[in-house]
Structure formats: structure tokens, C-alpha cells
Structure 1
Amino acid sequence: MNRAPSLLERAAVHLVLVLAVAFALYPVLWVVATAFSGTVTPEPRALPIPQEPTLEHLREVVGSSRELADGSTVWLFGRQLLNSLTVSIATALTGVLIAIPTAYALARFSFLGKTAGVRALLATQMFPAVASAIPLYLILDALELLNSRTGLVLCYASTSVPFAIFQLRAAFEAIPIDLEEAAMVDGATRFQAFRMVVLPVARPAIAVTALFAFMSAYNEFILAATLLDDETMFTLPVMLQRFIGEYDAQWDVFAAGALVVSLPVMALFYLVQRHLVAGLASGGVKG
């Protein structure tokens, strides 16, 4: 019979967890303190508390605007936020929609060129995205897609699709084929078994894959800075970099921008986490 942990043991475990959380959150608290401090340079101190609290840095980031050539004024931060969300969502959808049938075929069927295709996909994951910056620039220039969201989505999809295929292939291989065979014995077609049996069970893996694809595109900087030259087409990481110059750094505004930029990812992670729990609860065989 297992012995229940004593009060001292439970207290020690909670103390270790509290220290681990404090260690992880301490740098984040410094970012928050820097973003809301009115002083130019925060003084070193143990507790990261904002000095002369102000919202001016947030206003400078969120309220940025630009006058266009036609005389109209555009809300610059709103346009850049829209660019980041549009590119990231399109990249995640493209990666998942292409990867689902491809990964299922690789997991369930044998066909000519399967091994070579898997090795080719694996080879694409061995090189960083920056290594393909020049070829991608030349291709987009020939297609007249430079400085556009469409061109950026195509570049990001070239890396998100292979990653999503490998992720989902492993998920489909872990699903017992007996579930599909049982559905087909009951009269379902292969596609119906895939849609009604495999996809609900694989929903947690699909959600995680889409989340990683979204975050990779949302946080990417090098390709976006290379392929975009119009400020109204910038994504948020490129916008943040503008606050760090060669001879001067606006760390207070940069910290405020970092907090604002992280909010969509935090909200998306919360929503996907709920879907993960629902998928795990609904998947499997019910007796």
C-alpha cells in the first residue's frame, strides 16, 4: 500500500515548484517593469517594479501611424498586426491542409518512391531557412511577389509543410488501423473512416502542428526583413527591430512592443489548449 506524502514532503515539493516558476517569470517581470517605467534607464534592483509608471511606451507602439503618398493616414501598428496574423494563419492552414493527406498516405499506404520522398522531406529539415533566403528572393522577384503577404506565406509554407508532414505521419502511425477496419466493416468507405475516425483521434496532433506552424511564422524575422521593404507590409518582429538601432536602443518601447506582440500567441495557445483537452477526451475506443 502506497504511503501518503507527509506535510513536510508536500511543502518541499510546492516550494520547489514556486522557485521554478519564479525563476522562469523573473525575466518576464523585468520586461513588464521596463515597458511601464517612465525613467530612461531602469535602475538595477532585486524586485522588478516599474519606476514612475506610465503607459506612454504602449501608446507609442500601438498608436503609431504613417501618412501615405496619397495624403491619407494609415494606422501602422494595426496594419502590421494584420500582416502578422494573416501570414501566420495562412501558413498554418497551408501546412496542415497539405500535410494531412500526405502524412496519412505515408502512414497507411506503400507506393513507389515512398522511402525516397520521406528522405527528401527529411533533407529539407537539415538546412536553416536563412540558407534559402537568396533563392527565395530571386524566385519571388521573378514572380513579382516581393513585399507581399502571399510571397511570405509561400516562403514559410516551404518549411512548415515538411515539418507538419513528419509530425502528423507519426500521429497517424500511432492510431490503430483496427479502428478504420472496424468502420469499413460497418459499411464506411476509406474516406469516411478517415474523416469520422482518424481525424477526431488525431485532432490533438493536428492542433499542436498548427500551433507550431503559426508560432514559427509569427516569430520569424530574417526572411520577413529580407523580403519586405515597405513599412506598411512589415510583420511585428520586423517592426520591433526598428526600435533597436545601430547607435541607439529604445529598450522601453521595445519591451512594450514585445508585450503587445506576445498577446495574440498567448490567446491562441489558450484556445488550442482547450481543443487539445477536448480531443484527448473524445479520442479512443469506447466500450
Structure 2
Amino acid sequence: MSNRVVLSDRPPRSDRPTPSPSPGGRRAPSSHRPASPRRILLNAAAVLFCLVWIFPVYWMVNTAFKPYGDILRPTPHFLPVPFSLANFTDAVSKPGFLTDLGNSLLLTLAVVLLAVGVAFFAAVGLTRFRFAGRRAYLVAVLVLQMVPLPALVIPVFLSLKSAHLLNSLLGLALTYVAVVLPFTIWTLRGFLHGIPVELEEAAMVDGANRMTVVRLVLLPLMAPGIIATSVFAFITAWNDYLFADVLMKDQGHQTLPVWLVSFSTSTGTDYGGLIAAATISALPVVVFFMLIQRRLVAGMTAGAVKD
């Protein structure tokens, strides 16, 4: 029996799928297109903007790790060589650090919880209920956001003095809550407008009361907005210097921004300790932002899309 080789006119079979032609007989365009000059220019401008914005932060951290003799040199060093932790040691060992740090943490936590809680129920009342003076209240909230904070220092001082709340963390916390409430109420009201009222009505038909609807329906859906407003309240309470310096005269009740001023005295300024202390004071804000950055981005973009 002889071995024969059968030749076929058919082309060899390929496992790769043949691309289907687009309507009209033309090949579909490739998904990988070269970037246009306009896109490249926009990306370059964005990178340049980020570098300009982040350079002061980098220079602060870089200077904090430099020896004190290298800080005031006319020739800049873009890397902390030699590396030193002496500035951080001087900053932490300065009197009042732990006390003022505890005051700032306690104050900021109280402001965030109180401001977001009050703003949430105020937004629910403004959105879900109709009552006399509702529009006037909304206009007042907008007007309050336009008032500059330095103009409120004297009225707040006199009000707290008459209420015997000067030089107390409670009085300072109430001041910060009053400062951040207009923004938080207006922002949460916008988020609540995007939640259909039919969801609450369906939960009530199933037997849920008003507080159950708030806890199981509204709070989960408004979580991005609550986190976005809590970041604003956190930064306002943590970084404020004006009200803390005017309203708090007792060193045991001062906050971290006021403590930073103690590095500048009549004999001079300890730049190394001041920059290291500023770096330490910025860490809680960075950590807080890193923990909630995903929900923050969702909260900032949720209101940009409408049905």
C-alpha cells in the first residue's frame, strides 16, 4: 500500500477569527489611535500644573529633613542630603505639642460629626418637606457663604463672651460648626435631590417608619455626599488659625495651628522646627484623605450627571 499525499486547493485553516467588514465594505477603524496634538498639549499642561502645585509641598518635606545649617543656604538642595531628623525631634519635644494635638483631634472630630449630622437632617427637611419660609432660608444659606470669615470674628467673640463660652473647646467647636453648616447643608441638599422619593415611599409601604428610611435608605445612598462634606468640615476645623487664636487664650486649650506660631519669637524663628511641625500637622489631613479618597471622588462627580 503506497503512501499518497493528497493536495487540497483549500487554504490552511486558521484559528484566528476573520475580522468582519464594517457596513459599506470598509474595514473597521483600529481602537489604538495616535494621540492628537491637542490631547498631548492638554496632558502636558495638566502635568505642569500638578508639578507647580505639588512643588511647595515637596519643598516643605524636603526642608524638614535637612540639617538646620542647610536650610538657609542661598544654593538650593533638591534632595535632603545629609538626611537629618533633628528638626522633627525639636518640634515634638517643644512644650504643648501633645496637648494641642489632642485638642485639635477632639475638636475636629466633634465638628465633623455635629456639622454633618445637623446638615443631613436640615437637607432632608428642605428637600422632602414644604413649609413657609423655605426659599428664604435657602437664600440665607447662600448669603452666609459669601460673608468673609474675618468679618465674623468680633460678632462671634461677643456672642461667646455673653454665653460664657470664651476660651473653651465647646465654644470653638460651635463656631466651626456655624462656619461649615451653610456649605454642608447646600451640598447635601443637592445630593438628596438626586435620590427618588419613590424609594422612601416603597420602604414606608413595606412598614418602615421615617427613621428606618433615613437609616437604611437615605444614609447609604448619600454616603458619597456625606464624605465629601465631612472632608470640608475636617479641613476647616483642622487648619483654622484665626478663630482659635482670638477665642482661645489659655495655652491648655489651644490648637495645633496656634502652636505653630510659637516657633517664631522675638529672638528669631526656628525655621527647621517650624517646617517639621508644619509637616507633622499636615499628616492627619493626608491620612484622612487617603482613607476616603475613593468615596470622595464619587461624591464630587455624582452630582454632575442628571437623568
TM-score tier after normalising by the smaller chain length: 0.7 to 0.9
Aligned positions of 1:11-90 closer than 5 A: 19-40=48-69, 41-45=71-75, 48-65=78-95, 76-90=96-110
In 2, Cα distance between equivalents of 1:7 and 1:124: 46
Aligned positions of 1:186-225 closer than 5 A: 186-225=206-245
Partner of 2:31: 3
Summarize the Cα distance change of 1:219–1:277 in structure 2 as closer, same or farther, 3 Å threshold.
Answer: closer
SS at the partner of 2:165?
Answer: coil
Contact 1:203 1:276 in 2 (8 A): no
> Percent identity of the aligned residues?
37
Contact 2:67 2:84 in 1 (8 A): yes
**Which stretch of the first structure deviates more once superposed, 255-264 or 181-190?**
181-190
Contact 1:146 1:227 in 2 (8 A): yes
In 1, Cα distance between equivalents of 2:53 and 2:99: 32
Partner of 2:276: 256
Contact 1:35 1:256 in 2 (8 A): yes
SS at the partner of 1:229?
Answer: coil
Q: Could you state the TM-score of these two structures normalised by the residue count of structure 2?
A: 0.78
Q: CA deviation at 1:3?
A: 3.1
Q: Could you state the TM-score of these two structures normalised by the residue count of structure 1?
A: 0.83
What is the number of residues matched between the two proteins? 270
In 1, Cα distance between equivalents of 2:242 and 2:198: 45
In 2, Cα distance between equivalents of 1:203 and 1:44: 50
Contact 2:228 2:299 in 1 (8 A): no
Contact 1:34 1:251 in 2 (8 A): no
Please tell me the root mean square deviation across aligned C-alpha atoms, in Å. 2.7
Summarize the Cα distance change of 1:18–1:275 in structure 2 as closer, same or farther, 3 Å threshold.
Answer: closer
The structure with the larger Rg is 2
SS at the partner of 1:146?
Answer: coil
In 2, Cα distance between equivalents of 1:13 and 1:125: 33
Question: Which residue, 97, 104, 112 being the options, matches 1:92?
Answer: 112
Q: CA deviation at 1:33?
A: 2.1
Partner letter of residue 283 of structure 2? L
Structure 2: stretches of 5+ with no match in the other structure: 1-28, 301-307
